[in-house]
Amino acid sequence: MSETPELSPVDWVREQTQKILETGSTDSVGIDGRDVVLFTTTGAKSGKKRYVPLMRVESDGKYAMVASKGGAPDHPAWYFNVKAHPEVVVQDGDSSRVMTAREVSGEERARWWTLAVAAFPPYAEYQQNTERQIPVFVLE
């Protein structure tokens, strides 16, 4: 597909994404001085490509996508897209590659959750603010 991915309807997310696209690199964008990665997912129902900037959680060339939605009671829309279409484009800095996502659980999730909280400490508060266990995908 050569279609242009859709931008988020959420202002601050759209603005982050536009800055990444304008500069060609995620290095130009961060939250509280912490790096982000730009993921391109495929809509579960629509099949449309969608941009999703998330905090950079990386270990040994693998990345995590943390479906926190700021501690909301429901999963972010992109969670269902990744479940349906696990092939995701990952842009870190000015480098992009296609990776395959899988939701992790148990000890593997615990290890990635620790890395996620180290990368972005508010994740711990987000988990306290919701009854759902925040899902984590590992992309490799």
Q: What is the pLDDT of residues 45-59, one digit of tens each?
A: 999 999 999 999 999
Residue-level pLDDT at 11 = 86
Residue 130, phi then psi, degrees to nearest 5: -135, 150
Share of the chain above pLDDT 90, in %: 84
Average pLDDT over residues 82-103: 97
At CA 33, angle to CA 91 and CA 41, rounded to 5? 25
DSSP H helices, 66-130, are: 77-84, 106-119, 122-128
**Residue 75 pLDDT exceeds 80:** yes
Q: With respect to CATH, is domain 11-139 assigned 3.40.1360.10?
A: no
Q: Give the integer Cα–Cα distance in Å for 102 and 83.
A: 8
The residue ranking higher by pLDDT, 64 or 8, is: 64
CB 53 within 8 A of CB 36: yes
**Prediction pTM value:** 0.92
Q: Give the integer Cα–Cα distance in Å for 126 and 41.
A: 23
